[in-house]
Chains A and B, each alone.
Chain A
Amino acid sequence: MSITTEKSDDGKQVTIKIDGRFDFGSHHDFRDAYRGSSESGTVFILDMSSTEYMDSSALGMILLLKEHAGTLGGDIKIVNASSEIKNILEIANFDKLFSVS
């Protein structure tokens, strides 16, 4: 598990890349990845190209990120999700909450 964060020059787009397992163990790093961004209208992009596994705590964390983005008037997007990850996101109806691709 490792989480890397990339911020655009204007700070309005934060890309969080999650490698390996996305579960309870990631909570600290994941929170730290977005907690520092406070630019209004920031869009958080979750790059899940190398995410192998995701449990309900990860879904909870994503919801908290969405709440955080909401307070900033921004949004979140999930990109490069594998079919298994997409399955989980669809079961959770996350595809109705924000863009999942």
Chain B
Amino acid sequence: MLFLLVKKTWFAILISIAVIAFGAITNDFQYGLSSLLIILLVWIINVVVVLKNYNVNDDAVKYKIDESQTTEVVQQVSQLSTLIAGELSSLQESILQVKKLISDAVTGLSTGFSTLSNETRAQEQMVMGLITNMSDLNNEDSEQFTIKQFASETDEILNYFVGHIINVSKESMVMVHTIDDMVLNMNEINSLLADTKTIADQTNLLALNAAIEAARAGEAGRGFAVVASEVRELSVRSNEFNEKIKNAVSRSVSDMDKAQKIISEIASKDMSVAIKSKERVDEMMGNLNEMNGFIAAKLSEVSDITSRIESGVNLAVQSLQFEDINRQLCDYIGVHLNQITEHFDSMNTQLKQTGQEIVSTDEIIVLIANINSLLSQDLEKINQNTRQTVQQDDMSEGEIELF
């Protein structure tokens, strides 16, 4: 008999196994469960049909059973359906629990993600602010005094001072050349003074000769002797003057020498200090540009990362829509479980009635057919609902904004 049962219901068993396997593979809990229950029912019906066939099948007369046995089977099936009804209601409770757990978790996740999204946005704004600031730093027209401006200002000041030093040197050199010319002039004065000294000396000599000649002339030359003496006196005074001028000139020359030395101090500035300063400023400008470039690059990288985080968060938030689909699925499962429970109840009632009033096989066939038809309708409804629900299971479409 067991063999016959297996033989008659092998298809149902095979489908059960397939469905369980499919459920296990796809993790589609609801679908697997619903289908499993339906197949269980079909299996039970088959059992009843097989049992009934013992009586009606002419080829299987040897399996004929009496009505009391039928009643017992009906009772067994009835008990089984009561058990299943109990299981179904506990399943419904579990589904409600799952629904609540998922809902709670999703609410938490949603809050977390929206906080993350907000913080990321704030961070991106901060980074954008920094980037704007950085580009302002490079903006020459900016009112703020930037490091770059400081460096270029330093460069300008340095150039101004270098120009100033060179200008001072140039003017000093003009002065030095003028002094050189003056010294030349002084030397000329000196040589002229030498000439006048010669003249004075000769005048002196002439005066001396004149005095001698005057003395030889005796009384007549007395007046001339006085003139000669005066002339001699003049030549001596001229010589004294000469000497004084010579001294003054030589003092001037020595002063000019001093002036030249002072000017030399002013004009001769070592340029290495300026060169070093200039090099330092150039280096500073180079470093600054490098740093600016580095910071700008890093900031734009940070900005990129931020937008990637945001799109990731958006994807996660979008994916949280699974809760809605899950809730709908859970609701469907609940509805179907309810329907199935109702059918079990009505089947139970009918079976109990059948068990009490001994009925004909035809009546049992009609009864089973009724239950079968109800279950087929349910199965059709379940399939339709599942199709509707499953249409939404592609999260990436993201057409429904739920949060």
Chain A residues at the B interface, C-beta cutoff of 8 Å: 23-24, 27-28, 31, 54-57, 59-61, 63-64, 87-88, 91-93
Contacts and interface: CB of A to CB of B under 8 A. Distances in A.
Nearest to A35: B177
A23 B174 contact: no
Contacts of B264: 24, 57
B135 interface: no
A87 B170 contact: no
Contacts of B170: 59-61, 63-64
A93 B268 contact: no
A57 B278 CA distance: 19
Contacts of B180: 27-28, 31
Interface string B153-194: 000000100110111111111101100100000000000000
Nearest to B267: A57
Given A56-B267, A57-B264, A60-B267, A91 B169 contact: no
Given A60-B166, A63-B166, A64-B173, A24 B267 contact: yes
Contacts of A24: 176, 264, 267-268
B274 interface: yes
Which of A24, A55, A88, A92 lies at the interface centre, i.e. has the most chain B CB atoms within 10 A of its CB?
A24
Interface of B: 159, 162-163, 165-174, 176-177, 180, 264, 267-271, 274-275, 278
B344 to A, nearest CB: 102
Nearest to A28: B180
Which of A31, A57, A93 lies at the interface centre, i.e. has the most chain B CB atoms within 10 A of its CB?
A57
Contacts of B174: 64
Nearest to A31: B177
Nearest to B274: A91
Given A57-B173, A59-B169, A63-B170, A91 B268 contact: no
B173 A27 contact: yes
Q: Which 10 A-B pairs have the closest CB atoms?
A: A60-B169, A60-B170, A56-B269, A57-B267, A56-B169, A60-B173, A24-B264, A63-B170, A57-B268, A24-B268
B180 to A, nearest CB: 7
A92 B161 CA distance: 10
A92 B160 CA distance: 10
Contacts of A56: 165-166, 168-169, 267-271
10 contacts: A24-B267, A56-B166, A57-B269, A60-B173, A61-B169, A88-B271, A88-B275, A91-B274, A91-B275, A92-B271
A85 to B, nearest CB: 10
A93 B271 contact: no
Contacts of B163: 92-93
Nearest to A85: B271
Given A60-B170, A88-B275, A91-B274, A27 B159 contact: no
A21 to B, nearest CB: 11
Given A24-B264, A56-B169, 5 more contacts: A55-B269, A55-B270, A56-B270, A60-B267, A91-B278
B177 A55 contact: no
Contacts of A31: 177, 180
Given A31-B177, A91-B162, A57 B169 contact: yes
A61 to B, nearest CB: 5
A54 B163 CA distance: 16
Contact of B176 (A27, A63, A88): A27
A56 B174 CA distance: 14
A87 B173 CA distance: 22
B270 A27 contact: no
Nearest to A54: B271
Nearest to A32: B180
A1 to B, nearest CB: 13
A93 B269 contact: no
A55 B268 contact: yes
Contacts of A61: 169-170, 173
Given A92-B166, A93-B159, A93-B163, A55 B173 contact: no
